[in-house]
């Protein structure tokens, strides 16, 4: 989907239930939040979440995150669209669990994964009001967005990195590639740059940027026109955003605020050469 170029965009990486950091990042970028409602009347900024706003956090923070996003999605999009959300692999997987997707074979390993990596699923199974909100949001998620400012400057947004041949395409395979890249958990010990070599091989010295999340990193990782902004909020690091203003790109972050327990992980760093 193409984005109107007369707005400024705050593009936020993987939230994973970091509701306090999400609010802090919005406030840091000029939004006011009154009793959970974002006031966007003071500016022409639009919010974009890059997907994976659920899972990994505590049940209470996940509930608060879904409710905040749901409420503000409808609040901000009343007159024109000012809030966009991309589909991440976590939204997709939780959707498959809670909608009892017949193509999802339920094995003991699956149930273990559901508990361990997709903890929003059991929360939604117990809370039908929250489940309905999630399902409603899920129907509105985009797979890709593109800000096409000029022949010299554009930004394409996806949840996961992908090869250029799939970027901003609307067939089933391309959609899957933009939502999830090669699995790191199934390829432990493989360097990320070897697992997804296309991302540095296809990088170019131009201003046609591809910004993605998905690959929890210790900081914003940039190589030529390829940029990862998932800076591992739920892992105790920070929540980051890219700001698109006309033909300028900038970035900022808020640190993890310790309002919930962080999750531990070992970094596999992108563009580590
Ligand atoms: Mn992801």
- Summarize pLDDT for 3-23 with one digit per residue, the tens: 999 999 999 999 999 999 999
**Cβ count near 171 (within 10 Å):** 9
Tell how far the Cα of 79 is from the centroid of ligand 1, in angstroms. 30
| 260 Cα distance to chain centroid | 20
Tell how far the Cα of 107 is from the centroid of ligand 1, in angstroms. 22
CB distance 91 to 138 below 8 Å:
yes
Q: Average pLDDT, stretch 34-58?
A: 94
| 24 Cα distance to chain centroid | 17
In a domain, 188, yes or no: yes
Tell how far the Cα of 50 is from the centroid of ligand 1, in angstroms. 9
Q: Where are the alpha helices (DSSP H) in 54-152?
A: 59-76, 89-98, 108-117, 120-126, 128-139
Tokens of 4: 């109107």
Mapping DSSP to helix (H, G, I), strand (E, B) and coil, where does residue 69 land?
A: helix
Residue with tokens 């972050």: 253
**How far is the C-alpha of 269 from the C-alpha of 273, rounded, in Å?**
10
Torsion of CA 193, 197, 202, 208, to 10 degrees: -50
Average pLDDT for the chain: 97
In a domain, 209, yes or no: yes
Tell how far the Cα of 165 is from the centroid of ligand 1, in angstroms. 20
The pLDDT of residue 267 is: 93
Total-model pTM: 0.97
Q: Domain of residue 194: give its range.
A: 8-89+141-255
- Summarize pLDDT for 88-111 with one digit per residue, the tens: 999 999 999 999 999 999 899 999
In a domain, 225, yes or no: yes
**How far is the C-alpha of 179 from the C-alpha of 160, rounded, in Å?**
5
In a domain, 247, yes or no: yes
**How far is the C-alpha of 152 from the C-alpha of 138, rounded, in Å?**
33
Residue 42 has pLDDT above 90, yes or no: no
Tell how far the Cα of 85 is from the centroid of ligand 1, in angstroms. 13
Residue with tokens 């899957």: 176
| Side-chain half-sphere CA neighbours of 172 within 13 A | 0
Tell how far the Cα of 270 is from the centroid of ligand 1, in angstroms. 15
CA distances from 194 to 127, 190, 212 (A): 41, 7, 18
Tell how far the Cα of 197 is from the centroid of ligand 1, in angstroms. 18
- Residue 229's pLDDT band (boundaries 50, 70, 90)? very high
* CATH number of the domain within which 193 lies: 3.60.21.10
Which stretch of 48-52, 187-191, 211-215 has the lowest confidence by average pLDDT?
187-191
Residue with tokens 């591992």: 232
| 5 Cα distance to chain centroid | 21
Tell how far the Cα of 159 is from the centroid of ligand 1, in angstroms. 7
In a domain, 167, yes or no: yes
**How far is the C-alpha of 132 from the C-alpha of 174, rounded, in Å?**
28
Helix H or strand E segment including 242:
strand 238-245
Tell how far the Cα of 268 is from the centroid of ligand 1, in angstroms. 14
**How far is the C-alpha of 122 from the C-alpha of 210, rounded, in Å?**
34
How many domains does the structure of the chain reveal? 1
Tell how far the Cα of 213 is from the centroid of ligand 1, in angstroms. 7
Mapping DSSP to helix (H, G, I), strand (E, B) and coil, where does residue 197 land?
A: coil
In a domain, 194, yes or no: yes
Residue 27 has pLDDT above 80, yes or no: yes
In a domain, 271, yes or no: no
Torsion of CA 177, 183, 187, 188, to 10 degrees: 140
The pLDDT of residue 54 is: 98
Tell how far the Cα of 215 is from the centroid of ligand 1, in angstroms. 7
The pLDDT of residue 247 is: 97
Tell how far the Cα of 160 is from the centroid of ligand 1, in angstroms. 6
- Summarize pLDDT for 251-260 with one digit per residue, the tens: 999 999 999 9
The pLDDT of residue 64 is: 98
In a domain, 102, yes or no: no
């Amino acid at each position: 989907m193409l984005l109107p170029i007369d707005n400024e965009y705050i593009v936020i990486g993987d939230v994973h239930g970091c509701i306090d950091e999400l609010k802090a990042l919005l406030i840091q970028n000029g939004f006011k939040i009154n009793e959970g409602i974002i006031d966007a009347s003071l500016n022409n900024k639009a919010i974009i979440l890059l997907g994976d706003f659920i899972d990994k956090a505590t049940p209470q923070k996940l509930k608060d995150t879904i409710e905040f996003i749901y409420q503000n999605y409808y609040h901000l999009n009343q007159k024109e669209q000012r809030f966009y959300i991309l589909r991440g692999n976590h939204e997709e997987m939780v959707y498959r669990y809670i909608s009892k997707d017949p193509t999802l074979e339920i094995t003991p390993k699956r149930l273990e994964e559901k508990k361990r990596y997709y903890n929003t699923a059991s929360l939604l199974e117990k809370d039908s009001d929250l489940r309905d909100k999630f399902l409603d949001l899920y129907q509105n998620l985009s797979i890709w967005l593109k800000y096409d400012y000029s022949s010299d400057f554009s930004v394409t947004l996806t949840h996961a990195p992908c090869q250029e041949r799939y970027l901003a395409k609307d067939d089933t395979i391309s959609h899957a590639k933009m939502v999830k890249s090669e699995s790191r958990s199934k390829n432990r010990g493989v360097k990320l740059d070897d697992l997804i070599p296309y991302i540095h091989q296809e990088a170019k010295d131009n201003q046609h940027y591809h910004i993605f999340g998905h690959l929890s990193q210790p900081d914003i990782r940039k190589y030529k026109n390829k940029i990862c902004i998932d800076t591992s909020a739920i892992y105790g690091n920070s929540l980051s955003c890219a700001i698109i203003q006309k033909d300028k790109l900038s970035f900022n972050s808020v640190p993890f605020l310790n309002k919930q327990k962080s999750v531990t992980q070992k970094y596999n760093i992108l563009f580590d050469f």
